[in-house]
Amino acid sequence: MEKWPETYWKRPIPTAHWQGVSLLTGLIVITFLFIWECYWRIEGYDPGLEESAELWVIERAKVKPENPDEVVLLGSSRIAFDIDLDVWEQDSGGIRPAMLARVGTNPYLFLKELSEDESFKGTIICGITPGLFFAPDAAPTSLDVKAYLKHMESRSKSAYTDFLLSVPLESAFASLNKEDLSLRQLMMRHLRLKNREGAQVMPPLPPYFGRITRDRRYHMWSRMEHDPAIQSYVQQIWMPLFQMAPPFAGEGLDHYILSVKEMVQKLNSRGAKILFLRCPSTGELLDLERKMHPREAYWDRLLEETGAPGIHYEDIPELAGYDCPEWSHLSRSDAVSFTRELIPHVHRLLAE
Amino acid sequence: MLFNSLTFLVFFAIVLAIHHLPIKWTFKKTNLLLASYLFYAAWSPPFVFLLWLSTIVDYIAAARIARTEVQWQRRSWLVLSMATNLGMLGFFKYGGFLLDNFVSVAGAYGFQYEPAVASIVLPVGISFYTFQTMSYTIDVFRKNSPPSESFLDFALFVTFFPQLVAGPIIRPRQLLPQFKKEHQATHPQLMWGLGLMTWGMFQKIVLADTLLAPTSDAVFGAAESLVFTDAWLGALAFGGQIFFDFAGYSTIAIGTALCLGFSVPENFRYPYAAIGFSDFWKRWHISLSSWLRDYLYIPLGGNRSGLVRTNINLMLTMLLGGLWHGAAWTFVAWGALHGFYLWLEKICRKLFEGQPWTQRTVVRIGLGLATYILVTFTWVFFRAADFETAGRILFSMVGLGGEGIMVLATLEMIITASVICLLLVFSWAVRDRMMEDIIGEVPWWLGGVAWAGMIILLIITQGGSGAFIYFQF
């Protein structure tokens, strides 16, 4: 029998002045990171957590099964910015809602997941942003939702440790901001080139205008609340973004609303409740939304055919007077009063 | 756990620190073994049982094979080893595929059959470690290698975390002897290992995930035919993405092992500078192609039984190589296309080999580009979710897509074209050299600047959550 060889192939090592290389590398990296961090702090960025599938799954896991007191908030960015969780907790007998809304997405698949979870017996407040909720399932915005649900089903054990390790880093460095200061986002923002006529390309997303807390509450960035230049910049981003997909209509819309109705019935049949909520929008964006998704053809139809209660901010005088700095979301202080004024109406409708 | 994750950074720092403690070699190996199980269990703890099963069966089988000269007994132990490994692979990877095909064929003959829906999760890296352990038993059976004298060494050979889930698929003779003697990285080894890890992460996170993936995702996700430019850029972007993704993983694996003092062989050697397809397969996923050559193509008869038989063996090897990558007919088509290319190359070699004009630089560059373009066509089958998508993109690439849509932003087009051009020029410029030789010639300060640049871009990219493509295989 042959023996194991005493010698074997050994990887060659480049001849280099390794101490010099490592010292120079360390020096450049540390100097750059210091300058980079200072620069973005001067620009107004603060440290904060990143939106992530793991953060969503952790929040989803907080929804206790078989508990009728559970409140879950679904929807897009508007409900995430406009509902203040602390106020809700104070004014609703200590019940803190689970924030499961995801910015820029259609909550349809999240709603489906909750409706199919037989152990869920609580209440869903589902925010409706017409341009997203009445968008076909194939819209790019649904990809994040699918990724989150997939993550919930098959997350690895190390996903949680990754999250735990990322929290202190993200809480310490303002420049760690994937949605806004990553290489890709910086390239997209600063290397703006004209696209070909007719190219089906997603318009750029707005820059930093909100931060997320550990329980997924979004706050609007203070500069966004006060700086007209930034407000105007973001307003002009919303317009093409909300015109990306043609309005959902015809048989597709019929089937879609029917499927939402089935979800509502499924929830109601086991004692769970759902309420749809249309949060404020203003300016030219509101005009566009009225044109693309007329209330009677979408919102009214949704409530009528599903039989679920709903609150449209325009129907309640105290909710109708808010101004959105960039036409789509409430400022941090307005979110507090909006939530306070909204809650009695929510309780009233759910009690009926 | 993923290499490109914070958990791995902490995990590796702890493993490295323990490995450098003044403790016995056996304890250091035990540390590496336990760390490897932890590394694997971070995905799904129950699948560690599969690793144990493979380890125990192959260790016993190889020992029994070596102990006897009775042929039927040797064969029986070999069959047991093969059946265990291929059985695991077959059940987890090909079970659903076989069932789906059975249902389709039955349906075609009028037999309607609806099987119970079984949700089988594919254990990460099963294709890699089953091939690695099978090579051990086969080598012992062929008397090319003795059986391992130590169960600990063998368990570590099967489980060694740097290359456990996506290779390189290491042969027993390359790794087992290294476990016999104490290994600890010298300072230059540690630094070069860290440098390779950085380069691998840079390839994966910056080049593959950040610069190329958006283009290929947009093109392969399009529901309609595309214009010529977008279809080509999508296919080229995927060719670059999968190279940087997989070569990046292999480079991190090599660097990680080197930081611990172990030498792991190269898995890629500038494949896009290949001239011809046999050259391509000597440069792309070298550990798999050499495995298929030694344990499949040669046992089938290789090129020793005439032209027809050689061509059949070649095609069979490529078809199974395709199927190894994934349980779908698109992967079989990918393998078939490569098999066909290799046939074509054989014919061309017969006709033109030895003629002086074939050695002219311009001809070599032309042949290299032709190889690259033909390989790019194969990537369409590899990436597309189904034949319909593959067909749509291929038709668009040859200008038969009709009124195609445009899905790429100008910026994406420029980024993709730039990265691919740089990849080709760099590959061609260094096609016959080792990375170590090139780095050795660079002034030390330039090495420091380049290394710092990669780390800075890695940090700014803020990537790290994207799984490596080859994990699914």
B226 DSSP 8-state letter? B
What is the pLDDT confidence band of residue B212, given thresholds at 50, 70 and 90?
A: very high
- Residue B375 pLDDT: 96
Tell me the C-alpha to C-alpha distance, in Å, between residue A31 and each of A38, A173, B268. Answer: 11, 15, 34
Element (H, E) at A275: strand A273-278
DSSP letter, residue B162: G
How sure is the predictor about B105, in pLDDT bands with cuts at 50, 70 and 90? confident
pLDDT of A140 reads 56
- Residue B330 touches chain A, beta carbons under 8 Å: no
DSSP B210: I
Minimum distance, in Å, between the CA of residue A69 and any CA atom of chain B:
34
User: Is the preceding omega at residue B168 within 30 degrees of 0, hence cis?
Assistant: yes
Give me the mean pLDDT over the A99-120 stretch: 92
Q: Which two tokens stand for residue B418?
A: 């730039």
Nearest-by-CA chain A residue for B178: A8
Interchain contact, B436 vs A199, CB within 8 Å: no
Q: What percent of chain B has pLDDT over 90?
A: 70
pLDDT digits (tens, 9 = 90+) for B456-471: 999 999 875 556 666 6
Q: Which residue of A has its CA nearest to B434?
A: A12
8 A C-beta contact, residue B208 and residue B250: no
Residue B465's pLDDT is 54
Hey, what are B161's tokens?
Answer: 């975390």
Q: Which amino acid is at B190?
A: L
Which of A245-254, B15-24, B283-292 bottoms out in mean pLDDT, i.e. has the lowest? A245-254
Q: Is the pLDDT reported for residue B128 higher than 60?
A: yes
CB of A190 within 8 Å of a chain B CB? The answer is: no
Which residues on chain B are in Cβ contact (under 8 Å) with A138? 223
Q: Give percent of chain B with pLDDT exceeding 70.
A: 96
CB contact under 8 A, A36 and B146: no
For A312, the 3-state DSSP assignment is strand
pLDDT of residue A241: 79
Mean pLDDT is lowest, of A277-291, B120-134, B236-250, B319-333, for B120-134
Q: Which residues of B are catalytic?
A: 325
H/E element holding A344?
A: helix A332-351
**Which among B67, B120, B191 is the top mutation candidate for probing chain A, defined by the most A β-carbons within 10 Å of its own β-carbon?**
B191
pLDDT of residue A214: 87
Chain B: nearest CA to A38, how far in angstroms? 14
Under the banding of pLDDT at 50, 70 and 90, the label for residue A6 is low
The answer for B 257-296 residues in CB contact with A (under 8 A) is 258, 263-265
Interface check A196 vs B, CB under 8 A: yes
Strand-pairing partners, residue B405, are B226
Size (chain A), residues = 352
Task: Verify whether the Cβ–Cβ distance A195 to B409 is below 8 Å.
Answer: yes
Torsion sign over Cα B291, B294, B299, B301: positive
d(CA B147, CA B74): 13
Long-range contacts made by residues A31-40, C-beta under 8 angstroms, separation at least 24? A32/B452, A32/B456, A33/A175, A33/B456, A33/B459, A36/A175, A36/B460, A37/A173, A37/A174, A37/A175, A39/A175, A40/A174, A40/A175, A40/A177, A40/A181
Q: Which residue of B has its CA nearest to A168?
A: B6
Confidence of residue B116 (pLDDT cuts 50, 70, 90): low
What SS3 class is residue B379?
helix
Instruction: Please answer yes or no on whether B143 and A1 come within 8 Å at the CB atom.
Output: yes
Of B263, B440, B445, the CB nearest to A15: B440
For residues A87, A93, A96, A97, the Cα torsion angle rounded to the nearest 10 degrees is: -90
Does the pLDDT of residue A137 top 60, yes or no?
no
State how far residue B174 is from chain A, nearest Cα, in angstroms: 7
Q: Is B120 on the interface with A (CB under 8 A)?
A: no
The predicted pLDDT at position B416 comes to 97
Binned at pLDDT 50, 70 and 90, residue A250 comes out as confident
Residue A26's closest chain B neighbor by CA? B452
The whole-number average pLDDT for the span A70-84 is 94
Alpha-carbon separation of residue A260 from A33, A148, A304, A305, B247 (angstroms): 49, 20, 12, 9, 46
- Per-residue pLDDT reduced to its tens digit, B369-383: 999 999 999 999 999
* Residue B108 burial by Cβ neighbours in a 10 Å radius (0-12, 13-18, 19+): exposed
Tens digit of each residue's pLDDT (9 = 90 or more) over A159-180: 888 889 999 999 999 999 888 8
Q: Amino acid letter at B240? A: G
Average pLDDT over residues B104-123: 72
Tokens of A44: 């107004």
B:154-173 residues touching chain A, CB 8 A cutoff: 173
B 6-65 → A contacts, CB under 8 A: 6-8, 10, 41-45
Q: What does the pLDDT look like over A201-244, one tens digit per residue?
A: 877 777 766 788 888 988 888 888 888 888 888 888 888 878 87
What is the pLDDT, as a whole number, of residue B343? 92
pTM for this model (two decimals)? 0.88
Nearest to A178 among B6, B206, B462 (CB): B462
Q: Does A156 touch chain B (CB under 8 A)?
A: yes
In this predicted structure, what is the pLDDT of residue B117? 59
Of A13, A36, A161, the CB nearest to B7: A161
Mean pLDDT of B397-412: 90
Instruction: Kindly tell me if the per-residue pLDDT of A139 is higher than 70.
Output: no
pLDDT at A290 over 60: yes
What is the percent of chain A with per-residue pLDDT over 90, rounded to a whole number? 54
Preferred mutation among B1, B3, B7 to probe A, highest tally of A CBs within 10 A: B7
Q: Determine the Cα–Cα distance for residues B186 and B184; give it in Å rounded to an integer.
A: 6
- Looking at the DSSP assignment, which residues form a beta bridge with residue A219? A211
Confidence (pLDDT) at A136: 65
Percentage, residues of chain A above pLDDT 70: 94
Chain B residue nearest residue A32, CA to CA = B456
**Radius of gyration of the CA atoms of chain B, in A:** 23
Residue B318: what pLDDT?
93
What does the pLDDT read at residue B363? Answer: 92
* Burial of residue B69, with CB atoms counted within 10 A of its CB: 0-12 exposed, 13-18 middle, 19 or more buried: exposed
- Rounded to the nearest 5 percent, the helix, strand and coil shares of chain B are 75, 0, 25
Render the burial of B139-159: b for 16+ CB within 10 Å, e for the rest. Answer: bbbeeebbbbeeeebbbbbbb
pLDDT score of B115: 66
Single out the residue of A156, A14, A101 nearest to residue A279, CA to CA.
Answer: A101
Q: Within an 8 Å CB–CB cutoff, is residue B187 touching chain A?
A: yes
- Average pLDDT in the B70-96 region? 91
Neighbours of B346 (CB within 10 A): 18
pLDDT class of A308 with cuts at 50, 70, 90: very high
Contacts of B42 in chain A (CB under 8 A): 156-158, 161
Residues of B in contact with A10 (CB under 8 A): 263
Tell me whether strands A98-99 and A71-74 are parallel, antiparallel or unpaired. parallel
Report d(CA B335, CA B285) in Å as an integer: 14
Query: Alpha carbon B10 to chain centroid distance?
Result: 26
Q: Is the pLDDT of residue A282 over 60?
A: yes
Q: How far apart are the first and last CA of chain B?
A: 16
Q: pLDDT-derived band of residue B102, with 50, 70 and 90 as boundaries?
A: confident
Residues 360-399 of B with CB under 8 A from A: none
Q: How far apart (Å, rounded) are the C-alpha atoms in residues B262 and A277? A: 60
Minimum-distance CB partner of B445 among A24, A188, A201: A24
Residue A154 is predicted with a pLDDT of 82
pLDDT in tens, B275-292: 999 999 999 999 999 999
Q: Do A169 and B436 touch (CB under 8 A)?
A: no
> Per-residue pLDDT averaged across A9-17, rounded?
85
Mean pLDDT, rounded, of chain B: 90
Kindly state the average pLDDT of the residues A245-270: 89
Whether residues B406 and A166 touch (CB distance < 8 A) is answered with no
Q: Which residues of B touch A52 (CB under 8 A)?
A: 465
- Interval B336-353: pLDDT, tens: 999 999 999 998 888 888
Q: Among B108-122, B306-320, B390-404, which stretch is predicted with the lowest mean pLDDT?
A: B108-122
A201 CB within 8 Å of a chain B CB: yes
| Residue A51: pLDDT band with limits 50, 70, 90 | confident
- C-alpha A139/C-alpha A141 separation (Å) is 5
Q: What is the pLDDT of residue A199?
A: 84
Give the pLDDT band (50/70/90) at residue B333: very high
